[in-house]
Amino acid sequence: MILDGIENAERYVSLHPGFAEAFEFLRRPDLAELDEGNHAIDGDRVYTVAMRGPGHPHSEARLETHRRHIDIQFLLSGHETIGWRPDSMLRKTDGLYNSEGDAQFFADKPQAWISLAPNQFVVLFPEDGHAGMIGEGEIRKVVVKVRCD
């Protein structure tokens, strides 16, 4: 897991071939006007999901992992907390793995909480169980999905 500000994104471009495209997209001047939903950057190799919604209480945190994608979650507005727990400590599956949505949910509780302010991002690798949209008020964010292979 990586937490940083968008101004430092270049430090992480060498970690994965798809990160350059992902961070370039997150620097778009019209990012805040992006319609909610999925948007292709490079087919299904790198794409984004724009979302907006009310923050949820910590008690509603539902951890998930992905097998095929790395998430780069970028906060546009609001204040978000993301629950985190390494997959090596996830024991209580909450349903079957959804291969179409590339998501496995868990009933375990987060081990740590990461606070995001606008213009900060968190990189969540497949080994990072995470639960987003925790907070008060409206949260607007963009999640870039980067295929691992």
Give the H or E element holding residue 114: strand 112-116
Q: What is the predicted pLDDT for the residue at 68?
A: 97
* pLDDT-flagged residues of the chain (< 50): none
Q: 3-state DSSP call for residue 131?
A: strand
> Are 16 and 124 contacting, i.e. CB atoms less than 8 angstroms apart?
no
Phi and psi, residue 13, nearest 5°: -60, -35
Pick the CATH number of 2-147 from 3.30.420.40, 1.10.565.10, 3.50.50.60, 2.60.120.370: 2.60.120.370
- Read off the pLDDT of residues 136-145 as tens digits, 9 standing for 90 and up: 999 999 999 9
DSSP run (H or E) holding 145? strand 138-147
Q: Where are the domains of the chain?
A: 2-147
Q: Residue 28, SS3? A: coil
The 8-class DSSP code of residue 22 comes to H
Predicted pLDDT at 136: 94
Residue type (1 letter), 80? E
CA-nearest of 67, 133, 59, 136 to 97 is 67
pLDDT at 149: 78
Phi, psi of 148 (to 5 degrees): -70, -35
